[in-house]
Structure 1
Amino acid sequence: MGEMKTTCTQTVSVKPDLKQAEWKQALQRHGESIAAIGCGVLTFGAWLLQGSGTAWTLVLYVLAYCIGGYVKAKEGIVTLYKERELDVNLLMLLAAGGAAGIGYWFEGAILIFIFSLSGALENYTMKRSSKDIASLMDIKPETALLYKGGKESQVKIEELNIGDFIIVKPGERIPADGIVREGVSSVNQASITGESIPVEKEVEDSVFAGTLNGEGALIIEVTSESESSLFSKIIRLVQEAQSEMPPTQQFIERFEGTYAKTVIGITVLLMTVPHYALGWTWSETLYRAMVFLVVASPCALVASIMPAMLSAISNSARKGVLFKGGAHLENLAGIRAIAFDKTGTLTAGRPEITDVVSLQDYSEEQLLWIAGSIESLSEHPIGRAITEKAEACGRPLLRPKQLTAVTGFGVMAEFENETWKIGKEAFVDERGRHEMLAELTKRLEMEGKTVIFIQNDRGIAGVLAVQDTLRPEAKAAIAQLKKLGITIVMLTGDKRSTAEAIANEAGVDEVYAELLPQEKVESVKALRERYGKVAMIGDGVNDAPALATASVGIAMGNAGSDAALETADLVLMNDDLGKIPTAIRLGKKTGQIIKQNIVFSLGVILLLILSNFAQSLSLPLGVIGHEGSTILVILNGLRLLKS
């Protein structure tokens, strides 16, 4: 009985704590919005009581000032104390205080209300802009089901090591990057690549941490530790993107301090000079000084850039394109040329059989079956390509006898009572050569293909042509980039004939082949001298120096090496080249909206200042014009969320 009482007491005491925590979180999330609404309600109440002559009018105004102005006053004082700088927050509070000082309590309260409302809207914009990418933190798996020694155990993902096996049940999030070793399932990769349709995964397929397993159970071999997973890299990219400020915003923030001091200096002069120089009354002089302080404050100018920039970054992140900061979005908009790496970037990075030519009494299908059976034990990429092509024909492959791999040349094996060689031209002997073979080899090589020779006891039985094929979306992406007036260049270490064949198929303007990594860097520097801003797109370690040299480095997120991902300014999470023209158009649109905001905000400030000096602008209209322009530029920036 005593134990039950103790339990009841504990249960009752926990609930208020939980509610208190919930209230605290709600206040943190919506504090500015609540303050703005409270300020508006109090201002309206004070306005209703204004003619009654009661003390409650003043009390309500003071409360409205305190509640609506607290957050901005705190920000302004912290900036003044820590950075010894005046900012727009203090300007607004000085203006509101000045309005109250000359008897315009309502106008000052309206100023604080609209100012706090625009601040709440800007804060909403920032949170809304980062929500799509920051939500990744919420789906990060914390634990994994480790399968070791025939037993299952729950462990933290930090305890996983490369080579461990984990079990992922239907509906669970995959806790680590890895390769499927058992099972078949569809995996929703939207959090990583932006693909909305689940991808079918089977044995030997790669999977990523943070993606959602579908209907099947999977046993996965871990290929990277938790901090090295693609998911963790994305989170780091997000944090960098949120913290980095574009050059335009940096300039505005530097300008803000100087501008604020200038406005206060002019306001002090306006509080005295017009009385003596223009014969204004003291009341009119102080009134005009306060109006100037309100309308000259650069609220709209300060809000012109970051809401738009973060909206654009959020928009692109939802589509699988991650910027490491607003500066790179700005730079991308001015790109005049794009340099593509070839292998793994313009091409899929996987060799495929493009031609099968029989030179004996075998059909093409029979020759491919023989070659595929012999290569079925090979781990070489070309060997796997031959086997995959042969398997696609549907005839079961057999195993060869006495397979011998000769590094750099090919394989030799006993198959169907004959000795077979498959490999380079130098690997096979002279038997069975004739003019047609020489012409065929030359033609295939001119097309940028690698020729593989097949020889049996009678001589050359046939040849296979292998080529790293163009990505399906590459041609259309390049065509779109050209429509944007961008020159397309290929930089590759591959031989010229292969490079030119791929370049002609893709529609590339200029080709630089047989380049070492340092020569790629020199090529990018030369392109920058010719074109100005240049982007470089790559996936390998050898591309990292060139990515760093380019105005904007773009890495392939799935196929990209760690070095490329770390160096790049922009990452294509699903390796879709078609997203590059979209990102450039988004960058251009962002630049246009920022220019619109800056021109509009400066125009409004100038118009209001001139109207004030012409004595045709009242304080309420000044407040509405100035703060209204701030709200409009924020809303204009928000349009980029839906572009």
Structure 2
Amino acid sequence: MQMEVLPDKRHATVFTWLHNWDWKRHMEMMAAVICGVLLFVAWWMQKERLGLALALFIAAYVIGGFAKAKEGAATLIRERELDVNLLMFVAAIGAAAIGYWLEGGMLIFIFAVSGALESYTLAKSEGDLSSLIKLKPEQARLWTEDGEEHLVPAGQLKQGDLILVKPGERIAADGMIRKGVSSVHEAAITGEAMPAEKKEGSEVYAGTTNGEGSLIIEVTRAGDQSVVARMVRLIEQARSEVPPVQTKIERIEKIYVKAVLLLTGLLMLLPPVFFDWSWKESLYRAMIFLVVASPCALVASILPALLAAISNGARQGILIKSGKQLTNLAGLKVIAFDKTGTFTAGRPQVTDIRPFGEWSETELLQAVASIEGLSEHPIARAFAEYAAANGVKPEKVESLTAHPGKGIEAEYKGSRWFIGKPRAFSEQNREVGEIVRKWEDEGKTVILAAKDGEIAGCFALRDQIRPEAAEMVRELKKQGILVAMLTGDQRKTAEAIAEEAGVDLVFADLLPEEKVRLVEELKETYGEVAMVGDGVNDAPALARAGTGFAMGGEGTDLALETADVIMMKDDLLKIPYLIRMAKKLNRVVKQNVIFALSVIGLLVAANFIHWMNLPFGVVGHEGSTILVILNGLRLLK
């Protein structure tokens, strides 16, 4: 009887691991490791089998130095500029030419390791981008009104389509739930680990994963307009834009490399003539100088740390459009907040109605809810919810015109209506004025409605402060940052919210252009200013501030396009977190630059007084490069 030989599970696991290993991503580090192994074997064999040892040294040089030498050669051919990569390879070849094969090999090995660490940092950032790109499914279940479903490419979806998402499936487009209840895993978008409970009317995002219930979703944004697509564009933009200090260092690098090569040439030729050095000694010292004076650590001081910080933010649901913004945030003095939808939950509720004349509460509510139904403002949603709760159905409105910061104007049942804040009305009778003052003293937002120029009634609304707002203000104050509130709401309401949260400065009754003016005044008075908002009327101030934050969960498209930083989850505590990270990035960069320059200075000085040999110069220089990269990688945590 022939026995069947079962495969060893351990071997199967190893083969599976090898098959799934991302060889391409780890190629640089693998080349560095192979280079190190070849160097060790060559060093061990060089006394007894010199020929074989030299062959191994050459192999180590080629394998370890190929990637960086290719990069340097490409820069030379494409831009006709010398860079650090070519400088290091020249130094290694120079060391080998005077018989220091091991030292040159060590230079290539450590340089390859530092390069692999830089690539690792970049790969982490690219990994966040790749994971976002992979989030969006390729197919969607198009749902018809008669209850049929058809599999279609996700790219063919358009606004208004209905899609069916079954339990465990990814959502194919941004949309609004029209039917169903479920929990949705949104960690990739918002950074929130716990699933979010969703019901009819809730917004969902492409790329998030449906939980236990089936959902019918109406597509609101598809293709390139989805939140995931915009996140991909923003991360790509952030990775491509570097802060001014990095640009300066890159410009200096080009001049510095040429200067090092020139001084190396002079160091080869002049000391035998003027200082009685031997040619071999002069060539040896020139090679050491070429190694230790190269600005590898200086060049690596900023970019790995910056990419690590951007990657960290992306994992927390914070999208940073440019590395420059992190530099600005490190020196932040004042942060200004809009009130509605930013400091507050943005879900005001109607608390009081007072009709005037012959109007009844129901008639007045129906007129106002019908007109406000065409608006996207949080106050409009409050009227819609209140009307629905009281069984009032909105009717058709002929036309609507928005006046940002003032109110809305509409044609309704043949009459001209204007709905807005009390200050937008030039005339108010005593009864109206008394009611407005009473409700404002209670910290409520007051809205007046007028038909054909005559006030028909007024409404009071109250919004709730976000639960984390007070803690966020305390965190910002601990960091020495002044907190201001800029709002179009009336002063009494703004002051009530500000007192509850502990805000330092309150500016109320503002039009959008007045918010811009105040941002400029704060900048002149205190220094670097950031602005946080979510609405259309915040966009000009977001653009004018040194750094604009948009609340992405409820934020409008205009605010998202204008802002420099987007909070995908409306968690105010992420703001002090990001500012702490920006300050830490600033400290890390300063540490790296000072350390890199100090090491270069010490090693160059030690070389000129003959206290330095080539192995120590290689370890000192490349070791400092690895240390500054590792210091930057701390920002990934």
Q: TM-score normalised to the size of structure 2?
A: 0.84
Partner residue in 1 for 2:208: 211
Partner residue in 1 for 2:158: 161
RMSD, matched Cα: 3.5
User: For 1:343, which of 313, 325, 340 is the aligned residue?
Assistant: 340
Instruction: Give the match's secondary structure for 1:553.
Output: strand
Is the alpha carbon distance of 1:36 and 1:373 closer, same or farther for their aligned partners in structure 2, counting shifts above 3 Å?
A: same
Contact 1:133 1:317 in 2 (8 A): no
Partner residue in 2 for 1:78: 74
Partner residue in 1 for 2:109: 113
Partner residue in 2 for 1:546: 541
Q: Deviation per CA, 1:326-347, whole angstroms, max 9, x where unpaired?
A: 1111111111111212222222
Instruction: Give the match's secondary structure for 2:47.
Output: helix
Q: Deviation per CA, 1:396-418, whole angstroms, max 9, x where unpaired?
A: x77479999999899xxxxxxxx
How far 1:325 sits from its partner (Å)?
2.1
How far 1:443 sits from its partner (Å)?
3.3
Partner residue in 2 for 1:266: 263
Q: Does 1:445 pair with 2:440?
A: yes
Distance 1:501 1:477 in 2: 17
Q: Which amino acid aligns with 1:610?
A: A
How far 1:557 sits from its partner (Å)?
0.7
1:208-247 equivalence runs, <5 A: 208-247=205-244
How far 1:519 sits from its partner (Å)?
2.6
Distance 1:398 1:135 in 2: 46
Contact 2:84 2:294 in 1 (8 A): yes
Instruction: Give the match's secondary structure for 1:167.
Output: strand
Instruction: Give the match's secondary structure for 1:204.
Output: coil
Q: Does 1:326 pair with 2:334?
A: no
Partner residue in 1 for 2:594: 599
Contact 2:321 2:564 in 1 (8 A): yes
Contact 1:373 1:387 in 2 (8 A): no
Distance 2:119 2:370 in 1: 60
Contact 2:362 2:392 in 1 (8 A): no
Q: Does 1:520 pair with 2:515?
A: yes
1:293-308 equivalence runs, <5 A: 293-308=290-305
Contact 1:524 1:534 in 2 (8 A): yes
How far 1:523 sits from its partner (Å)?
2.0
Partner residue in 2 for 1:638: 633
Is the alpha carbon distance of 1:46 and 1:452 closer, same or farther for their aligned partners in structure 2, counting shifts above 3 Å?
A: closer
1:488-507 equivalence runs, <5 A: 488-507=483-502
Contact 2:370 2:394 in 1 (8 A): no
Distance 2:630 2:604 in 1: 24
Is the alpha carbon distance of 1:404 and 1:562 closer, same or farther for their aligned partners in structure 2, counting shifts above 3 Å?
A: closer
Contact 1:374 1:400 in 2 (8 A): no
Instruction: Give the match's secondary structure for 2:325.
Output: helix
Distance 1:57 1:172 in 2: 58
How far 1:379 sits from its partner (Å)?
6.9
Is the alpha carbon distance of 1:372 and 1:214 closer, same or farther for their aligned partners in structure 2, counting shifts above 3 Å?
A: farther
1:51-130 equivalence runs, <5 A: 51-130=47-126
How far 1:441 sits from its partner (Å)?
5.5
Q: Which amino acid aligns with 1:77?
A: A
User: For 1:568, which of 563, 566, 579 is the aligned residue?
Assistant: 563
Q: Which amino acid aligns with 2:598?
A: G
Partner residue in 1 for 2:3: none
Distance 1:105 1:539 in 2: 62
Partner residue in 1 for 2:130: 134
1:3-82 equivalence runs, <5 A: 26-82=22-78
Instruction: Give the match's secondary structure for 1:146.
Output: strand
Partner residue in 1 for 2:10: none
Is the alpha carbon distance of 1:491 and 1:377 closer, same or farther for their aligned partners in structure 2, counting shifts above 3 Å?
A: closer
Q: Deviation per CA, 1:256-305, whole angstroms, max 9, x where unpaired?
A: 11111111111111112222222111111111111111111111111111
Partner residue in 2 for 1:311: 308
Instruction: Give the match's secondary structure for 2:276.
Output: coil
Contact 2:366 2:393 in 1 (8 A): no
Q: Which amino acid aligns with 1:328?
A: Q
Distance 2:629 2:409 in 1: 64
Is the alpha carbon distance of 1:601 and 1:479 closer, same or farther for their aligned partners in structure 2, counting shifts above 3 Å?
A: same
**Could you list the runs of 5+ residues in structure 1 that have no partner in the other structure?**
1-18, 358-367, 392-396, 411-422, 427-432, 454-461
Is the alpha carbon distance of 1:596 and 1:97 closer, same or farther for their aligned partners in structure 2, counting shifts above 3 Å?
A: same
Q: Deviation per CA, 1:186-211, whole angstroms, max 9, x where unpaired?
A: 00111111111111111111111111
Instruction: Give the match's secondary structure for 2:73.
Output: helix
Is the alpha carbon distance of 1:620 and 1:352 closer, same or farther for their aligned partners in structure 2, counting shifts above 3 Å?
A: same
Distance 2:329 2:104 in 1: 43
Distance 1:400 1:238 in 2: 46
Distance 1:481 1:524 in 2: 18
Contact 2:445 2:489 in 1 (8 A): no
Distance 1:136 1:404 in 2: 42
1:578-617 equivalence runs, <5 A: 578-617=573-612
Contact 1:377 1:399 in 2 (8 A): no
How far 1:475 sits from its partner (Å)?
2.0
Q: Which amino acid aligns with 2:544?
A: T
Distance 2:504 2:182 in 1: 42
How far 1:532 sits from its partner (Å)?
2.1
Contact 1:348 1:468 in 2 (8 A): yes
Contact 1:371 1:387 in 2 (8 A): no
Q: Which amino acid aligns with 1:116?
A: A
Instruction: Give the match's secondary structure for 2:212.
Output: coil
Contact 2:169 2:210 in 1 (8 A): yes
Q: Does 1:188 pair with 2:185?
A: yes
Distance 1:492 1:626 in 2: 54
Q: Which amino acid aligns with 1:111?
A: L
Q: Deviation per CA, 1:219-264, whole angstroms, max 9, x where unpaired?
A: 0111122211112111111111111112121111111111111111
Distance 2:331 2:193 in 1: 30
User: For 2:284, which of 287, 290, 297 is the aligned residue?
Assistant: 287
How far 1:518 sits from its partner (Å)?
2.5
User: For 2:525, which of 530, 546, 560 is the aligned residue?
Assistant: 530
Amino-acid identity (%): 55
How far 1:469 sits from its partner (Å)?
2.4
Distance 1:554 1:409 in 2: 30
Q: Deviation per CA, 1:518-577, whole angstroms, max 9, x where unpaired?
A: 332222222222222111111122222221211111111111111211111110111211
Contact 1:376 1:399 in 2 (8 A): no
Instruction: Give the match's secondary structure for 2:117.
Output: helix
Q: Which amino acid aligns with 1:448?
A: G
Aligned length: 583
Partner residue in 1 for 2:249: 252
Q: Which amino acid aligns with 1:567?
A: T
Q: Deviation per CA, 1:98-136, whole angstroms, max 9, x where unpaired?
A: 101111111111111111111112111221244234311
How far 1:632 sits from its partner (Å)?
0.9
Is the alpha carbon distance of 1:374 and 1:543 closer, same or farther for their aligned partners in structure 2, counting shifts above 3 Å?
A: closer
Distance 1:617 1:404 in 2: 86
Distance 1:565 1:600 in 2: 39
Distance 1:149 1:35 in 2: 58
Instruction: Give the match's secondary structure for 2:99.
Output: coil
Q: Which amino acid aligns with 1:245?
A: V
Query: In terms of Rg, which structure is larger?
Result: 1
Partner residue in 2 for 1:416: none
Contact 1:354 1:467 in 2 (8 A): yes
Is the alpha carbon distance of 1:89 and 1:449 closer, same or farther for their aligned partners in structure 2, counting shifts above 3 Å?
A: same
Q: TM-score normalised to the size of structure 1?
A: 0.83
